[in-house]
Amino acid sequence: MEQEELRRAGRRLLEPAVGLLARMGIAPSAVTLAGLAVTGLASWLVCRGEWLAGAAILAAGSVLDALDGGVARKRGMVSRAGAVLDSTCDRVGELLVFTALMAGEAGRTLPVLIWLGPAALGGSFMVSYTRARAEGAGIACSSGLMTRTERLILLVASLVAAGVIGSAEPIEWMLIVVAAGAWLTAVSRLVRVFREDRLTGGYGQRA
Amino acid sequence: MEQEELRRAGRRLLEPAVGLLARMGIAPSAVTLAGLAVTGLASWLVCRGEWLAGAAILAAGSVLDALDGGVARKRGMVSRAGAVLDSTCDRVGELLVFTALMAGEAGRTLPVLIWLGPAALGGSFMVSYTRARAEGAGIACSSGLMTRTERLILLVASLVAAGVIGSAEPIEWMLIVVAAGAWLTAVSRLVRVFREDRLTGGYGQRA
C-alpha cells in the first residue's frame, strides 16, 4: 500500500523528465539501454574503488531506469518486449556492479567477497528468476522483502559509507544483508508457488 | 528435430530408474532437491581442485536431474510448481559450480577467472532469464545454442580435460566459450522477443 503511494509520488516527480524525453522522440528502449550504460560506468568506478562517484552515478542510472516505463506510456509504446528488455537490463546491471565489487578494489581488500559476491548476486538473480518463472507458469509472485529497489538502496548506501570511512567493510555487510534477504525472498516465493499451485497439468520445463 | 530424438532416446534409457523411484513412492520434488545436493557435492570437489571426481559427480547429478520429470509424469504429479522448482534448482546448481571454479583451486591458478566466472555465470542466467521473462510475457522462446545441456557438457568435458592434464587451463577456455555462447543466445532471444511482439499492451515489469 505504502509502496504503491511512494511509487506514485516518484512518478509525479519524474513527470517533467518523462515529458521532455517523450517530446524529444526518444524510444523507451533507448532510455533503458542508456540506463544500463550509466550502470556500466558506475560499475567501472566501483571497480576502481571510487565508491562515492560510483554511488552517485549508480543513483543517476536508476533514475534513468525509472523513466523508460513513463516514456513508453506517454508515447503509447508500451510493449511486452520493452518490459522484457527492461528487466533483462536490470539483471545485467546487477551482474556488472556485483562483479565490479568482487573483482575490484573492494575484493582486493576483502578477499571474502569472492564468496559474498556470488551469494548476493545469485540471490538477487533468484528473486527475479523465481518471479519470472512463476509468472510464466501463470502464478503472480511479486511479493518479497529484497526486491530490486531495496537492493539498490542498500548498495548505494554501502558505497557511500565505504567512501566516507575509506574502508570496504560496509560493502561486506551490505553483501551479507542482500544475500540473506534475497535468498529468503527467493525461497518464500518458491513456497508461495507451491501453495498457489492447486492445478496440476503438463508444463514444459528446462531452459 | 534431432535434439527431440536424442531426448526421447535418453528417456527410454532412464525408464527403469524412473519406474524404480516411482514405485518407491519418492516425490519428484525430492528427486529435484537430491539432484541439487549432488551438484553441491560436485561443486565442493571442484572447489578443492578434484576435477575428475567433480566431473563424475556432476554427471551423476545431471542424471538425477533428468529423472524428476519422468517420476512426476509416472506418478501423475506433474505440476507447474514442480517445474518452477526444477528450473530454480538448475540455476542454483550453476551458481554453485561457477562460484566453486572462481573461488577454488582453478581461480587461484588462473586469477582471470574472477572475470570469466561472472561472465559465464551471468550469461547462463541470462539465457534462462530471457526465456522465463519471454514466457511470462506470452512469447515462446526456447531456441538457442547454449542451453543448459550444452553448458553442462562443456563444463564436464573441461573438468575432465583439466583433471587429465593437471592444469586449470581447459576450464578457462570452457568459461570463454560458455560466456560467448550464452550471451549470444540471450541476445538472440531478446531479438526474437522484439520480433514476435506485434501486440502492444500494458504489461507490468520490475522484479
Q: What is the DSSP letter of A75?
A: T
Looking at residues B93-101, what average pLDDT do you find?
96
Residues of B in contact with A78 (CB under 8 A): 200-203
Could you tell me which chain B residue has the CA closest to the CA of A136?
B136
Residue type at B90? D
Cross-chain Cβ contact B125/A130 below 8 Å: no
* Mean pLDDT, range A47-66, rounded to an integer: 93
Contact A107 B126 (CB under 8 A): no
Query: Whose grid coordinates read 540471490?
Result: A123
Which SS3 state, helix, strand or coil, does residue A71 take?
helix
The residue that leads in pLDDT, B153 or A144, is B153
CA distance readout (Å), A132 to A62, A119, A120, B127, B140: 21, 20, 19, 13, 13
Mutate: best of A126, A133, A188, partner B, most B CBs <10 A: A133
Q: Which of these is catalytic: A68, A86, A90, A197? A: A90
Q: What is the DSSP letter of A48?
A: T
Q: What is the rounded distance in angstroms from the CA atom of residue B118 to the CA atom of residue A121?
A: 9
| Residue numbers of the domain that contains B142 | 3-206
Decide: A41 and B163 in contact? Cβ < 8 Å.
no
CATH number, residue A56: 1.20.120.1760
Cell of A3: 509502496
Q: Which three cell numbers stand for residue B120?
A: 559465464
Q: Do B207 and A132 touch (CB under 8 A)?
A: yes
**Hey, are the CB atoms on A114 and B136 less than 8 Å from each other?**
no
Contacts of A185 (CB under 8 A, 6+ apart): A123, A127, A144, A145, A146, A147
Nearest CA in chain A to B124: A207
- Distance, in Å, from the CA atom of A3 to the CA atom of B87, rounded to the nearest integer, reads 30
Residues of B whose CB is below 8 A from A131: 207
Contact predicate B185/B150, CB 8 Å: no
- On whether ipTM exceeds 0.85, the answer is yes
Does position A203 have pLDDT exceeding 60, yes or no?
A: no
Inter-chain touch A200–B78, beta carbons under 8 Å: yes
Look at residue B166 and give its three-state secondary structure: coil
What is the separation, in whole angstroms, between the first and last Cα of chain A? 35
Q: Report in angstroms the alpha-carbon separations of B105 from A174, B6, B70, B166.
A: 27, 35, 36, 11
Which chain B positions have a beta carbon within 8 Å of A95's beta carbon? 118, 122, 125
Is B86 annotated in the active site?
no
Q: Structural domain tally of chain B?
A: 1
Chain-chain contact of B137 with A78 (C-beta, under 8 angstroms): no
* Residue (of A25, A1, A188, A136) closest to B128 by Cα position: A136
For the cut 80, the answer to whether the pLDDT of residue A1 exceeds it is no
Under 8 Å between Cβ of B185 and B146 = yes
Q: List the single residue in A with minimal CA-CA distance to B118.
A: A99
Identify the band that residue B141 occupies on the pLDDT scale cut at 50, 70 and 90.
Answer: confident
Question: What are A29-49's pLDDT values in tens digits?
Answer: 999 999 999 999 999 999 999
In a mutagenesis test of the A interface, which of B94, B133, B188 is the best target, namely the one with the most A β-carbons within 10 Å?
B133
User: pLDDT tens across A78-124, in order?
Assistant: 888 999 999 999 999 999 999 999 999 999 999 999 999 999 999 99
Mean pLDDT along residues A146-155: 89
Q: Please count the CA atoms within 13 angstroms of the CA of A115 that sit on its side-chain side.
A: 7
